[in-house]
Amino acid sequence: MKILVTGASGQLGSTFKSIAAQGRAKDLEFVFKSSAELDITDFDAVHEELTGSNYAYCINCAAFTNVDKAEADNDLAYRVNVTGARNLALNCNESSTVLIHISTDFVFDGFLNTPYLEEDIARPIGFYGDTKYKGERAVINNLEEHFIIRTSWLYSEYGHNFMKTMLKLGAERDGLSVVYDQVGTPTYALDLANVVLHIIKAHSIDYGVYNYSNEGVASWYDFANEIFQQYKIDIDLKPIRSEEYPMPAERPKFSVLDKSKIKNTFELEIPHWKDSLAVALKAYSKINI
């Protein structure tokens, strides 16, 4: 099967590249396109790429993911996350390509105290989350054959993410403060990528919206503490409230995702976030010897 991966230079796209390079998906033919190589906000460019290329699947890893910058650069965030998603959906529909679109826990407001189900009402509290939800709707309204996977707190050995930021700061500072009143689940990009490949190899037609993260629950403080403990970094880590570390964009206070649907549909066993973190840190060490 021939598979187009958009946003191939980001952390999830880079993860798929690593999987392909290691020969762990030999029965799949990947075509990787970075945002510079394929601008999904350009309808004609997307049309040209998909027309006649016989792609069975398109995995959309392209997204404007800087939550704070989205508050300032509304136009670019909207074009990538909404217009880009619509362009892919329309052209996938025309070329009979199944679209696997990656979304986010930020479509929810974080006011619940129980894990979010796929059918819970989306109420984004920031511009980033609003564009991602509108991107979901653009896919749903223009393409029947789609999978939308909402994930949370994505990290890996690639790109820019919380794990790598903590390791950098841990090497530079003696002390650090991290918020403890925002709760969710860290998700290792490799685990998410493997689930996407599992869906593809199953030739599933159970289209729709799915939640996916690793198992377990943590605050950002818990996540940071586990990173430092596993990587054996001695640092004075202090928990603080969100109000003590103001950011341009408000974050959901509770964004734990219920994964029952994806586990039952695809018979998945999902690793705990602490176990996956150990794998990620080992991979990070190999890259940064």
Answer yes or no: is pLDDT of 173 > 90. yes
What is the pLDDT of the chain when averaged over all its residues? Answer: 97
Largest CA distance in the chain: 57
* pLDDT given at position 289: 67
Name the percent of the chain lying above pLDDT 70.
Answer: 100
Q: What is the pLDDT of residues 13-60, one digit of tens each?
A: 999 999 999 998 889 999 999 999 999 999 999 999 999 999 999 999
How distant is the alpha carbon of residue 73 from its chain centre? 20
Secondary structure string (H, E, C) spanning the chain: CEEEEECCCCHHHHHHHHHHHCCCCCCCEEEEECCCCCCCCCHHHHHHHHCCCCCCEEEECCCCCCHHHHHHCHHHHHHHHHHHHHHHHHHHHHHCCEEEEEEEHHHCCCCCCCCECCCCCCCCCCHHHHHHHHHHHHHHHHCCCEEEEEECCEECCCCCCHHHHHHHHHHHCCEEEEECCCEECCEEHHHHHHHHHHHHHCCCCCCEEEECCCECCEEHHHHHHHHHHHCCCCCEEEEECHHHCCCCCCCCCECCECCHHHHHHHCCCCCEHHHHHHHHHHHHHHHCC
d(CA 260, CA 65): 26
- Phi–psi pair at 239, nearest 5 degrees: -85, 140
pLDDT tens digits, residue range 94-107?
999 999 999 999 99
2-154+187-214+256-271, what's its fold? Rossmann fold (3.40.50)
- Closest CA relative to residue 128, chosen from 148, 104, 92: 104
Predicted model pTM: 0.97
Angle among Cα 154, 155, 160 to the nearest 5 degrees reads 110
Task: Kindly list the domain boundaries of the chain, sorted by start residue.
Answer: 2-154+187-214+256-271
- pLDDT higher than threshold 90 for residue 127: yes
In the predicted model, is pLDDT for residue 254 greater than 80? yes
**With bands split at pLDDT 50, 70 and 90, how would you rate the model's confidence at 288?**
confident
**What pLDDT, in 10s, does the model give residues 198-244?**
999 999 999 999 999 999 999 999 999 999 999 999 999 999 999 99
How many Å apart are CA 21 and CA 88, to the nearest integer? 26
pLDDT at 267 over 80: yes
Catalytic residues: 128
The pLDDT value given to residue 26: 87
Cβ pair 114, 132 in contact under 8 A? no
Question: What confidence score (pLDDT) does residue 37 get?
Answer: 98
Mean pLDDT to the nearest integer, 74-80: 97
- pLDDT for the residue numbered 232: 97
